[in-house]
Amino acid sequence: MAQQAGDNSNPELIIQTYKQMNNECQQLTSKVTELALERDEHKLVIETLSKLEPERKTFRLIGGILVERTVEEVLPSVQENYDGIVKLIDVVESTLKTKHEARTKYKNEHGIMTQEEREARQKAASKEKMRIDNRE
C-alpha cells in the first residue's frame, strides 16, 4: 500500500485507496466462491468414485487430454486436489479477513461513508428530530 504512505490529506487519494482496498476484498471474495464450487465438484467426484470397485475403468482429464485410469489410481489424486483446495480456501479466507479489517480501519480513520450509510444516518437523524419535535 504505497499510496497510503503518501499525502493522507488528499481526499481523492484517500477515496482511490479505499476503492482499491474494496476491489481487493471483492476479488478475494470471488476467488473464495470459485474455489468453493471447485471443492464441491471434487467432493462429488470423491463420493461417486468411493462407491465403485477399485479396478473399475475411469477417465480423467489431465492437461486437456482424456486419460484412461482405474478408480484406484484416480481417487487418491482427486482427494489430494480436494485437500489442497480446502487449504487454499482457508488461506484466501484468512487473507480476506485481514484485508477486510484493514479496509474497515482505513475507512474509520478517514471517516469514509458509503451512500447507503449516509442515507441511513440522515434517515435516523430526521426520525430523531421528528421524535424531539413531537415531544415539544
Q: What is the mean pLDDT of the chain?
A: 89
Q: Rounded CA gap, 52 and 71, in Å?
A: 7
The domain defined by 9-135 carries CATH number 1.10.10.10: no
- Write the DSSP string, 84-101: HHHHHHHHHHHHHHHHHH
For 92-104, how does the pLDDT look when each residue is reduced to its tens digit (9 = 90+)? 999 999 999 999 9
pTM, to two decimals: 0.76
For 18-43, how does the pLDDT look when each residue is reduced to its tens digit (9 = 90+)? 999 999 999 999 999 999 999 999 99
Is pLDDT at 4 greater than 70 in this prediction? no
